[in-house]
Structure 1
Amino acid sequence: MMQVFQKLQEAWVFKVCLSCAVTAAVQEHAQIFAAFVILVFADLASKWLSLSRQRLIERGVESPNLWQELCSIRAARRDGYIRSSAMRTRFVHKILSYAVVVASAVVLDFMLAHAQVPAFATNVVIGYLAITEFISILENMQQSGVEEAGTLVELIRKRSGIMTDKKQETERRNEK
Structure 2
Amino acid sequence: MQATSMLQRQVDTITPNSSAPARETMHEPQAQRRRTEDDKATGGLSLLAMYDEILEENALRHREEERPTKPSTTVQVLGYLSEPPIPRDQDPLHYLASNCARYPDLAIAARTYLSAPPTSVDSERLFSAASDVVDDKRSRILCEKAEMLLFVKMTFAFVKKKMLIPPQ
Higher relative contact order (CA 8 A, sep 6+): 2
Structure having the higher Rg: 2
TM-score range, shorter chain: under 0.3
- Structure with bigger helix share is 1
TM-score (norm 1): 0.22
TM-score (norm 2): 0.23
